[in-house]
Amino acid sequence: MQNDDLAADLLRGIPRIARFLGMSDRQAYYLAEKKLIPAYKRGKIWEMKKSTARRQTEVLEAGQRAANCP
């Protein structure tokens, strides 16, 4: 991944992460602290890759579909 690609893929700060996930800042911070979303802290700033969040969502959706199939 080139630097430009990484910059476009990276969300820096809870407000941007929350907006991407469609939730409040408080919800995103709680989920990040509990490690329920693929966010990590670099220094004092929370970061998350969009591609990782999308992959995690696909895995969760696939598991849900498999659980709902007889």
CB 10, CB 47: distance < 8 Å: yes
pTM confidence score: 0.82
Scanning the structure block, which residue is given the tokens 């929370």? 46
CB 49, CB 11: distance < 8 Å: yes
pLDDT band at 3 (very low <50, low <70, confident <90, very high): low
CB 57, CB 21: distance < 8 Å: no
- pLDDT above 90 covers a percentage of the chain that reads 71
- The mean pLDDT value for 46-54 works out to 96
